[in-house]
Each structure stands twice: as C-alpha cells, then as structure tokens.
Structure 1
C-alpha cells in the first residue's frame, strides 16, 4: 500500500503499530493509554537507533526522563487500523533539557490521530537528581535535533 501522507516535520524516526483487540477500550476505539505507550515505545526505539540503550544509561549514570507530557487526541483508531508513529527531537539546551514531539498517522488515509510533546530532563540514575547531560548524550541526541540542522538552500543560490 502506498503511503500518501507527509509528516508535519522533516526527517522523522518512525515505528509502525497495528491496532488489535488488546488496544480497544469499552468505547470501541484505541484506549488513550495505548497512544501513550506507543509514544514511549517510539521514543525508546529512536534512542536505541541513535546508539543509546539502557546499558549506556547505566554506564553513564544518566537518563533522560519525562518531566512534562502533553497529548492531543485528535481522532480515534479502530481494530485493523495500521498506524505509524513519527517522532523527532526538536530542542535541546545541551545541558539538562531536551524536547521530543510525536505524530501518529493512520496509514490508509493519512489522518493525524495524535500529536504529543514531551519535555525531558537529564537525571543521575543513582539518585534521581537532575544532572548535566554527559558528552555522549549531547553528541548522539544533539546531532538528531531537527531544529539544529541547517536548512538546505534552494538550488542556484550562490554563496
């Protein structure tokens, strides 16, 4: 099936989800907690793709944890829907705070079902207190922040 939709931001990391009976609540649609879980799974998969896993977090005694989360539930998903969650790192101060955004799209019609935004903070795993991001976080996560990427220039633009 060809996908005829575009994400709201460039260069997303994506993860596919198919709605099954276990995702449906008493109202007959995907329960909102499932969307939250899909965000969590997508964010972690993106971190793994960037080369940071739990063993790195433990070795560095550092972790990025959710400080604030906002979820905008726009449309419902139902049994049989194939969806794709896009995620981006959209901001980082390179010290303590990072931001991640999400967009969940139903593949068949390209409708956005959810938008979400997380503010993350770096903590020391050994005591749960805030700490500066280790250089490995700044490099791996910082290089993935889409806002930090230079915009391509139109062809024919001499510099």
Structure 2
C-alpha cells in the first residue's frame, strides 16, 4: 500500500447496498461517516474513549473538515481506510488525516483532513487539552 504517512491505523470496509447512491457508487456522505468511525476507533485504541472524554469534560471537536473525493468505489469493493494524527500544538489544536485505498488496484479513493480543537464539553468553548490528551495523543503524532 502507498500510504501518505507511515503506520496508519486501519479499518477494512466494503460498501453495502445501503451505501450506494443513484449514480451506483458509494455516496460521499458514507466516507465522512467512515472517517468518524475510524477516528473514534483510533482514539480508543490509543486509550481515550468517549467515556474518558465525558469524565474529563473535554473533547477534540472538528473545527474544519476537508475531503478530496478522487475516485468512486462501488458495491462490494474491498477498501482500507487509514488515519493518523499528524500535528498538534499540545494546547488546543490537533490535525487528523485520512486516506481510503481500494485493495484490488491500490487506487486512492479519498483523502481527508480534520482540524480539531479541544473543547470543554459542558460549555462547548475551547479549553486547553488536559494532560491525559497530551500524554496519549502527542506520542501518536506521525511525521
């Protein structure tokens, strides 16, 4: 696989009939949902779950998202979605990247980017990352 960054956290996916739109390819909104699924799975694998977020009253919220839809995928395609944390200031901001590859021909289907900001869940306002976030997320940053 030709990944944009080394050692992605990956998830294997196959579009189901409910993912296919009127143009007979995977609807773009499905890719966005998959990015959310893998983002949470990666965070949990690193050691931070939704329960941890709630206990700490902090969350990494999407401030800005970009998706580049490069090629279509269709019903039954075997896909691999990868994600990485690529940057953080260790205070408020973090950047997560995504890449979706079709297994059969190694074609890149989609690339995505999230700019995240740490918020206090109870107020929704930006708030400095707690030490637990820094201890887990910062060592996971890839270059």
User: Normalising by the residue count of structure 2, what TM-score does the alignment of the two structures yield?
Assistant: 0.98
Q: Which has more radius of gyration? A: 1
User: How many correspondences in the alignment?
Assistant: 143
Q: Which of 100, 104, 107 matches 1:108?
A: 104
The Cα offsets for residues 22-75 of structure 1, whole Å up to 9 and x where unpaired, read as 110011100000000011111110000001001100111000010000000000
Q: In the aligned structure 2, how far is the partner of 1:121 from the partner of 1:11?
A: 24
Partner in structure 2 of residue 75 of structure 1 = 71
Q: CA deviation at 1:108?
A: 0.8
Q: In the aligned structure 2, how far is the partner of 1:146 from the partner of 1:92?
A: 10
Partner in structure 2 of residue 14 of structure 1 = 10
Q: CA deviation at 1:8?
A: 1.6
Q: CA deviation at 1:6?
A: 2.3
2:56 counterpart of 1:56: no
Partner in structure 1 of residue 34 of structure 2 = 38
Q: Which of 56, 62, 67 matches 1:66?
A: 62
Task: Give structure 1 regions of 4+ aligned residues with deviation exceeding 6 angstroms.
Answer: none
Gaps of 5+ in 1: 148-159
Q: CA deviation at 1:83?
A: 0.4
Q: In the aligned structure 1, how far is the partner of 2:23 from the partner of 2:2?
A: 29
SS for the counterpart of 2:140 is: coil
SS for the counterpart of 2:95 is: strand
Q: In the aligned structure 1, how far is the partner of 2:113 from the partner of 2:134?
A: 20
User: Normalising by the residue count of structure 1, what TM-score does the alignment of the two structures yield?
Assistant: 0.89
Report the aligned-residue RMSD. 0.6
Q: In the aligned structure 1, how far is the partner of 2:104 from the partner of 2:50?
A: 35
